[in-house]
Amino acid sequence: MNNRSTLLMVMVLIGAAVLSACGGQVVEAEAESMEDGSVQYSESGLPLYGCLGSSEEALVDLECREVTVAVENAYLPFNYIHSETGQAGGWDYEVVTAICELLHCQPVFMEVSWDVMIQSVADGLYDMAADGITITEERDEIVDFSIGYVAIEQRLLVRVGEDRFTSIEEFVANPDLVMGTQTGTTNYETAIQYLPEDRVQAYEQFPFAVQALIAGEIDAVIIDETSGLGYQGESADLLELIGPSISSDALGFVFPNGSDLVEPFNMALQALMADGTLTEINTRYFGPDFVVTYDDIEEVTYD
């Protein structure tokens, strides 16, 4: 994980219209790059990019095509709005813009609620979604995935000093314990694989689950390790990750079925892997030097 100063220093443009759609704010921008390379932001804090890259150097020339990208802006380290600056940042913004540099396209980020995100892409309302989405067979029936760009471990987040269990198996064995997680996630699916649904409390967003954990309303939260480290970082005196990995999952970008963007994005991801760029970005965002915590970001409410 990393702070917002790591946003790409390239691209930007003038002029944007903000509208609401499908539970999220939509930003549409006209392509015009600032000469000094600075980044312009919409009133809602989303970065506005012009056409990135060039036709001469593109792996696949998308001819400055706008690519609408759904993000939640509430999921560290992938996307967030920093409370001090009011500006968006995160892994998704950096990697998608790096991809558009290679494909000669214009990313247009849109703030979308998680609970409608994948279905909205499936319905063609957005060209793609980022947001650290796990590749699953069930989701693959309604959308197309890119190749996996990173593997994420699912872990147990608990209150500091927890001594009633040290693993998911020990948690399951105690019928008095209740697990928290976020609805509609693979974490929820993992939880109900181990536990009856009456022992799983699902919340609209992970911050609500973590607040319930701190308050003692639930006994653990099953969560992606990268996100759990963010909560642990802001509340090291209250929270800790325990036990071995429960599940290792590959993450990928989501596209409508049959999208002509899948192959170009896969080519660009493979190029970023081959030249070390993706490893360098992953190290900064998923490593110990990432300093943004959930205390540092704005709580997002969707129209």
Q: Same CATH topology for 4-149+253-296 and 151-248?
A: yes
Cis peptide before 47 (omega within 30 of 0): no
Give the C-alpha separation, 153 to 37, whole Å.
37
Fold of 4-149+253-296: D-Maltodextrin-Binding Protein; domain 2 (3.40.190)
Residue 131: pLDDT band with limits 50, 70, 90:
very high
What mean pLDDT is predicted for residues 106-115? Answer: 96
Q: Confidence class of residue 51 from pLDDT cuts 50, 70 and 90?
A: very high
Predicted pLDDT at 38 = 65
Q: Give Dmax over CA atoms of the chain in angstroms.
A: 63
The most confident of 11-25, 218-232, 238-252, by mean pLDDT: 238-252
Class of domain 151-248: alpha beta
Q: Which of 14-18, 58-62, 122-126, 247-251 has the lowest mean pLDDT?
A: 14-18
192, pLDDT greater than 60:
yes
Mean pLDDT of 282-296: 84
pLDDT at residue number 162 = 97
Please name which of 254, 249, 16, 18 lies closest in space to residue 120, comparing C-alpha atoms: 254
pLDDT in tens, 255-269: 999 999 999 999 999
pLDDT band at 27 (very low <50, low <70, confident <90, very high): very low
**Is residue 9 exposed (0-12), middle (13-18) or buried (19+ Cβ within 10 Å)?**
exposed
Domain regions of the chain by residue span: 4-149+253-296, 151-248
Work out the average pLDDT over 120-145. Answer: 97
pLDDT of 3 above 80: no
Q: Answer yes or no: is pLDDT of 122 > 70.
A: yes
Looking at residue 12, what is its pLDDT?
Answer: 27
Instruction: Indicate the residue type of 163.
Output: D
19 — pLDDT class (breaks 50, 70, 90): very low
